Homo-oligomer: A and B are copies of this chain.
């Protein structure tokens, strides 16, 4: 039996039985007492909290809080998780958000450090506005993960982004702006871009954006994005 498989088996048995002795574990996984002891030691090193009671009636006990799992996530997936949790947290000091943060912090720690810096920079561009009443979502859903890579590249590399936009009146235009921030007014998301030809900020509903493309050969500087109600009135954004 593979080491990994055996470790998983031991965790499973401990979780199932609540408590177990080393000899019982050894018999069930088909390994020697000595090996199981080594496995327990390895599991503790890996972060599992395993209590042990010595003496008659004693045994091993896995702290149920410490059941852990390890999944390999891609960077865009981590990105998406971070955004979800950041938006939740910004929308109010919700229960569990601290715990979710702790989980994400672990994920971050496992990332290459340059990627972490990139993610933090992106989150700095994330603004969550006042929560809006629920509305008709029939127009939503056109924002697909396909759009993410271009946005990620544009934000992280400080590149201009070019995309096709369909405005509230259905007119289609091609735009090219500096992606300065993302504004979240649930359930709608907006790209806040600086339009250099108009020398002004413009807001774009994410679900009306298509074919985004980061212009890798261009660069821009971060600006201070105004988010006061009067600068970016709610009613106008919803249109």
Contacts and interface: CB of A to CB of B under 8 A. Distances in A.
Contacts of A5: none
B72 A84 contact: no
A103 B81 CA distance: 7
Interface of A: 11-12, 15, 46-47, 64-81, 83-85, 87-88, 91-100, 102-104, 106-107, 109-112, 115, 130-134, 137, 140-141, 143-145, 147-149, 184, 186-189, 206-207
Nearest to A47: B72
Contact of A130 (B70, B85, B134): B134
Chain copies in complex: 2
Contacts of A115: 67
Contacts of A96: 79-80, 83-84, 145, 148
Contact of A87 (B47, B88, B188): B88
Contacts of A112: 11-12, 15, 67
